[in-house]
């Protein structure tokens, strides 16, 4: 079949980059660009498999293969489909995209979707270095990742970096009126992994409990830390005011019942959930990871807190808990910013512009 744009992604399980790929495919002119998706680690049950199929975008997989066999299979797929652009949407598949197009007329793009040092380290010593250097052209979703990559003292570094910030479906994430005063619901959303630093939120919950506040902390997401966070909640004596809710398919429903969002991460790119909360009209308290300081206007759409400053994190949460009108104003300002900057048309136009910058002919 004809394929102009081929996307290579590590998996289609719940995650921010997977959601962004779906958004990109959803918003682009698929009849014109004829996209297809290759999945490095495919699982039929993954959340975004049916969503991509519903867009009539072909899916290709490499099941039960070694990494070397997958490289060969992907290279054969590139020759079969003859795409004009191959875009790796996951950092650890960057080198595979480069290898797949080598010796063909196709052009390759890589991705840096989070903190650059984290991406390199988490991909392993060899895959991390290779995927940092090749393809030589890479798209980052945060300016901070660009700065970090340019400062990296290593021959294994990309040549050209382009920032394309995440987009959001503003029809799906619409403004939801903030509930009248009552029980305060503090929501956190994300994978339960160490870099998200959920321990900070649990420690803050203990201090709020000591104050005698009427609240509940709801943490939405799955991951390897689920059991340890449950144990931490028991150790802190806060099981009555903390809910580990697991994965939820409709984050809008969670945010609709939230008073405000708290995001405690140590490492980020351009976090989807912060955008989603702002689009729903919710104030945000977030650590200064990734591009959060440019995403959240401190004092206007929420509060930006230095990482490792637990005292300020708690103080900002208390401020929102005790000032309902401030929550309303910040939520309204967040929605305005979302409408101005988060749309999917921008995501598509900037992505295609990046392809053109390396010589792609958008015929």
What's the pLDDT tens digit per position in 40-73?
A: 999 999 999 999 999 999 999 998 899 999 999 9
Per-residue model confidence as pLDDT tens digits over 163-209 = 999 999 999 999 999 988 778 999 999 999 999 999 999 999 999 99
Spacing of C-alpha 336 from chain mean position: 21
- pLDDT (0 to 100) of residue 25: 98
For 173-202, give the DSSP string.
S---PPPPSSSEEEEEES--SGGG-HHHHH
Q: What is the pLDDT of residue 256?
A: 94
Share of the chain above pLDDT 90, in %: 91
Phi, psi of 193 (to 5 degrees): -135, 160
Structural domains in the chain, CATH included, are: 5-167+344-357 (3.40.50.2000), 184-341 (3.40.50.2000)
- What are 218-264's pLDDT values in tens digits? 999 999 999 999 999 999 999 999 999 999 988 999 999 999 999 99
Q: Which long-range contacts (CB under 8 A, 24 or more apart) does 248-252 make?
A: 248/220, 249/47, 251/173, 251/189, 251/220, 251/276, 252/172, 252/173, 252/174, 252/176, 252/276, 252/280
Q: Supply the pLDDT for residue 5.
A: 98
* Residue-level pLDDT at 63: 84
What is the predicted pLDDT for the residue at 1? 65
Q: What is the pLDDT of residue 257?
A: 94
Predicted local confidence at residue 165, as pLDDT = 97
Closest to 273 in 3D by CA, of 313, 323, 218 = 218
The pLDDT, as a whole number, for residue 267 is 92
Per-residue pLDDT band for 99 (boundaries 50, 70, 90) equals very high
CB 241 within 8 A of CB 247: no
pLDDT at residue 269, rounded to an integer: 92
pLDDT at 157: 86
Average pLDDT of the segment spanning 295-320: 97
């Amino acid at each position: 079949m004809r394929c102009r744009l081929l996307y290579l992604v590590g998996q289609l399980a719940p995650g921010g980059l997977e959601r962004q790929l779906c958004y990109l495919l959803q918003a682009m002119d698929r009849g014109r660009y004829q996209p297809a998706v290759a999945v490095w680690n495919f699982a039929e049950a993954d959340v975004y498999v049916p969503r991509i199929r519903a867009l009539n975008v072909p899916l290709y997989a490499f099941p039960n293969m070694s990494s070397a066999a997958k490289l060969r299979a992907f290279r054969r797929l590139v020759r079969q489909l003859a795409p004009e652009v191959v875009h790796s949407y996951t950092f650890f598949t960057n080198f595979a995209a480069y290898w797949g197009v080598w010796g063909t007329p196709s052009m390759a793009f890589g991705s840096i979707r989070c903190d650059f040092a984290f991406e390199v380290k988490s991909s392993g010593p060899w895959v991390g270095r290779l995927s940092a250097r090749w393809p030589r052209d890479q798209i980052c979703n945060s300016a901070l990742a660009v700065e970090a990559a340019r400062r990296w003292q290593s021959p294994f570094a990309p040549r050209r970096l382009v920032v394309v910030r995440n987009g959001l479906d503003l029809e799906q994430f619409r403004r939801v009126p903030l509930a009248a005063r009552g029980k305060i619901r503090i929501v956190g959303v994300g994978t339960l992994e160490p870099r998200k630093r959920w321990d900070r939120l649990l420690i803050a919950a203990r201090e709020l409990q000591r104050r005698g506040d009427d609240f509940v902390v709801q943490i939405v997401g799955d991951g390897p830390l689920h059991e340890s966070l449950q144990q931490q909640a028991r150790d802190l004596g806060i099981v009555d005011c903390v809910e580990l809710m697991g994965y939820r398919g409709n984050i809008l429903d969670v945010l609709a019942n939230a008073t405000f969002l708290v995001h405690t991460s140590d490492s980020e790119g351009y976090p989807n959930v912060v955008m989603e909360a702002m689009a729903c009209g919710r104030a945000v308290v977030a650590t200064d990871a990734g591009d959060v300081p440019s995403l959240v206007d401190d004092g206007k759409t929420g509060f930006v807190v230095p990482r490792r400053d637990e005292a300020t994190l708690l103080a900002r949460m208390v401020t929102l808990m005790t000032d309902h009108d401030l929550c309303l104003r910040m939520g309204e300002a967040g929605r305005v910013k979302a409408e101005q900057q988060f749309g999917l048309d921008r995501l598509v136009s900037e992505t295609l512009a990046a392809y053109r910058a390396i010589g792609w002919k958008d015929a």
